[in-house]
Each structure stands twice: as C-alpha cells, then as structure tokens.
Structure 1
Amino acid sequence: MDDIFVAVTGINASDNPAPGIGVARSLKGQNVKIAGLAYDAMEPGIYMDWLIDKSFLIPYPSAGSEALMERLLYIKQHFGLDVVVPTLDSELPFFIKYRSELEHHGIKTCLPSEEQFRLRSKERLAAIAEQSGLQAPKQAIVTSYNELAKAVQEIGLPVMVKGTLYKAYHAHTLEEAMAYFGKIVAQWGYPVIVQQAVTGEEMNVIGVGDGAGNLPGRVAVKKMSVTELGKIWTGVTIQHPGLLEATQRFVATTRWRGAFEMECIVDQDTVYLIEINPRFPAWVYFATGVGINLPIMLLKLALGETVETAGEYQAGKLYIRYTDEQICDMSRFQNIVTRGES
C-alpha cells in the first residue's frame, strides 16, 4: 500500500497543548507520512522526529487565504499532501470555505459544512442541547459593559465569561466579570458570552460523524484534574448512557461530518451541555489508547473509504498527561526559522 501524506496542524505541545500531537500519534504506523504544520519555530512538535516526518511553518490565518493556500500547495509539491487535518478553531473557517478548492488540488479534508460549523457556536448552544436531550445553562450574548451588567443580574452570580472561540473565566463578582470581559475583548473582540456557572462533574465525549447521521466512534471521559488553563491532566473513561445517547442524537440530527467534542457538566441525573468543539481535543490519543482510533476514522472518511462502527471501549481506563524534555541541535531551529521547513 502506498504511503498517504497527511498534514496536521496544532503541534504545539506546551503547557497549553494543541491536538496535533495526539492526532499524529494516532496516525503514526498506518502507512502515513506526517507533515507537521506550525506557526512558530518554537512549537515542540517540529522537533519530534519519531512522530513528525517533516515540519513546515505556515502563515497565521490573519495573513489571508491566498498566503495559506500557496503554502499548502508548496507542501504538496515538495513533500506530498493527500489529506490535511486542521485541529485549531481559528483555522477551520478557512479550511471549510476552501475545501472544494483544496480538493481540486488533490488535498482532501473531513470537516463540517459552514452551516454545521455555525450550529455548534456558543450562541446556538441552547437549541443544540434541546435537540440532543440535554440541558443548557442560561446565557446571554453581550457587546458592552451595560449589557454585561444586565446579563449578570438576570443570570445570577457566579457566571462564566467566555469568548466565542477561546477563553473562559469563572467570575464570582460583577467586577470580576467586567475585568474578564475587557480581557477577552482586547484579545479576541466581540461578542462575549455570559453563561450560568453550573456545578457537577466535568464529562466530555469525543467522536467522529460521517456526514450521514452515523457515529462510527466515540469515547466519553470524566475529568479528574485539569491545569490552570483548563486542560485535562488526568481523566478516566466512563460509560454514561445519557451522555452517549445525547451524542448519538447530536450527530443524527445535525448530520455532523468530522471530529467533535461535547463538553458537559453532570449534576446527578441532569446533563448540561457547556460547549461543542468542532475538532479533536488535545487528549484525543486517550481514545486511541483505549481502542477507538478516531483520527484514523477521520482519515478514511476524508479519503472516501468505508468506516466500520467501532466496538465498545472499556470504562475505568486512566489517562495521565506528563511533561518531557528533548534535546536537539540549534541548527534545527535555525533551519526552520530561515527556510520555513525542517
């Protein structure tokens, strides 16, 4: 079987890890050659030779679609590129918008449609929760300090103050909420979401939809500990019937295509849907480790291959993240800075 050339973004395995390394680990050893796409020469994945076959710097999304398209075509010509797996929220609008053009050049993807991408936005959370048989915390979309104060009064403290793509802060007072509002606006702009802070156990489920309403694979976990940035540090696989059934309904009703993560808080029999992410999380390799290789499913769907529904995984499997160090020659860093590839 000929090698398949796959580009994976999000290879920043730092204290705020992106999903790319977990995706690469899941694809490695499957007749796959992996190109790591990085935005900065200091991203650790660039130097992980046992996972990444070749690394390339790519322009930030703010540089415009033409620059990124040109870079992807360069990678295809000089390394090979059959499938690209974007793993960061900020990249997805480009890859969704230009998927047909990419496919015209022989670069395939497995992504939600523009309408599906809009459906999972935080602004539409309540509707998706209702369709999936879940509860949704109260929330309001605000664009000013006056609207923020009104929303906090109506929802009641404490609240979560969130950006539409990134960042979420727990505010116990109106003053804290206003400070976080200003912080999010300064970094990510408007609007900002004010959401009821519900209590319970944090449970997440990840999966892949085939675009026809089917869910070939999913894994649910309970967070046991997280970092200061909210990233899971330890977790355990669970079999929660209500959560898994809701995941099936979400995929069936939206006909979701591609990767997703449902973030929930479970308070006894009540399951609150907190967020839907349209990509894999950083802990995606946990699913692979318990026998459900979601990135391989995604790759097969992108290539138009048949994907069989995975069997059940075992509950009670423990996930522990750890830090590591690696040493390499300074010339590697200089090469990626000067040539944009390594």
Structure 2
Amino acid sequence: MAAPLLLFCVSFLLVVPLGNLVIGELLKRNIGKNIRVDGPASHQVKVGTPTMGGLYILAGIGTITLLLGVGGYTIAWLPFLAMVGFGALGAYDDLQGLKDVQGVGWLARAKFPVQWGVALALALLAYFLAGDFVLIVPVMGQELSMGAWVIPLLTFLLVATSNAVNFTDGLDGLSSGTCIAAYGAYGVLAEFTGQRGLSLFCFALTGVLAAFLWFNVHPARIFMGDTGSQALGAGLAMVAVLSGHWLLLPIIGIIFVVETLSSMGQVAYFKYTRRKYGEGRRILRMAPIHHHFEALGWSEVQVTLRFWIVGALAAAVGLILGMMT
C-alpha cells in the first residue's frame, strides 16, 4: 500500500505547481465559462471563469502514467484511453458552449449517438486487450465470468457514468471531490485484490484530482467543464468493470446516481404533468438536486461539503463490502 500512497503524493506535488500556468493560458485564450440562464441567479458571477480544466487533469494523469511507471501495466492504459475518448467529446461540447452566450453547448440528440459509438469502441478494445472479465458478487465472493457480455455492459456504463458525473459538475469542487472518494475506494479495492496496475492508476489520478481541487474549491479559479466530467465518469466506469466490482459502483458513486435520478425524474414528472394537467409541475425547486438545496437556502459551500461527506461515507461502505468479499 506504500507505493500507491507515495504515488498519490508525488502526483499532487508534480501537478499542483502547473495550475496557475494552465489558468493563465486559458484566460489568455478567452476560454471562459458561459453560465446557463436557467441555473441559479447567484451563479452568474462565475461568467468568464476559465473552463475546460479537464485538459489539465488529462495532461496530469497522462504525464504521470508515462513518467512514473504506471504505463508499464496494460490495465492502466484502458481507463486512461476511456478518459481521453470521452474527454475529447466533452471538449467539443465545451467549445460549443463557449460559442453560445447561454452556455447550452452540444445538443443531447446529437451528442448521445456519438457517445454510444465511442463507448462501444472502447468496450471492444477492453474486451480484446484485457482478456476475461469477471463479476465479483459483493459479500458472497463468487466470481462469474462475463465473457462477451462485458461489451454491452461496459458500453452502457461508460455512457451512463460519464453523463452522471457531468450532471454532478454544477458547484465548485463538487465533482472533483466526489471523484476523489470514488477513485480512492476503487484504488484500495484494486490493491487489496492484487491489481497493482489499476491501483496505481487510481491513486495517481486522485493525486492529480487533489491538485485540480486546489484551484477548483469555492470560489473556483477554474472549472473542469465537460472535458473533465465526461472523462472522469468514463474512467470510473472502466475502472469499476476492470476491478470486477462494478456492482458496487452505484454505492461508491451514490452522489452521481442521485444527481442523475433527480434530473431525469424532474424532466419526466414535468412532461407527465404537462400532458395530464396542461401545465408542467416540478418535484424539486431546481434540478439537479444540488441546485434544489441551493434554492432551499444552503450556501454553495454547504451543499458541496455535505455532498462530499455523503460521497465519502458511501465510498467507505462500498469499500467495506468489497473487502468483505
């Protein structure tokens, strides 16, 4: 366990000094966030904050993977490639949002087919490179061979988790902090089960994320954008499936699940009531759910810290269940 923890520290120390350089470069290129008009009015002060900080995260983990021996493990390249693939889609989305003063970005009906295509390509690559995948049943400890069924499963999880983390990325530090907990839990599980390459990747990435969080806490000096959120979600899905503990993903990533369900439920209920009563009604004051709590009077920092606590506790529960296996 000493090597992964050392890698976490080294990753943080190597990447954090570059933050000011990245922020300065983004400002120089006028890559500033346009805030959606349908979000909280208090967020309009964030207009112009440098976005696409996911490039900082990707460059950091890519450099660590190449320089510190993580890339010597084939298994470590798969989550990195997933991050690059979905990070590229997120970057395109961010660029579209920069062109729109309302910050809308790439429309879902155009984005989803491309996401599914990239996810399928990554799933096929993982299937042919990583060999037989297994499902480890929590607590029971039974291992079941996935065979080719891993292809549709991984395809779905890549799309679902990338969008789930994207939904979560609405407050300063929220996504980066919860991702640290989730990747940290899977890193410990991987080390516990002898998957050293996967463990090193997870701990290297948590170090990079901690460096990013240094500049992303409220008031954020940089946003990860869709470049970062989609990349982190896809990487987490790949890590979960490679570890065999993907059944624990809804627990370890509980914040991402709740954020997604709150958005989907809000839209579905609005459409249903509009069709039935002639006017759309809402379950929450605003979706995703972190904005609902802001509307109730919680400060942005309160929402973020409390969601971090829930995310860390859920990650700990998932870790315990995995280690019991």
Could you say whether these structures have the same fold, taking a TM-score greater than 0.5 normalized by the shorter chain as the test? Answer: no
Q: Which of the two has higher C-alpha Rg?
A: 1
Structure with more relative contact order (C-alpha pairs < 8 Å, separation 6 or more)? 2
- Shorter-chain TM-score bucket reads under 0.3
Greater strand fraction, Structure 1 or Structure 2: 1
* More helix per residue: 2
> TM-score when scaled to structure 2?
0.26
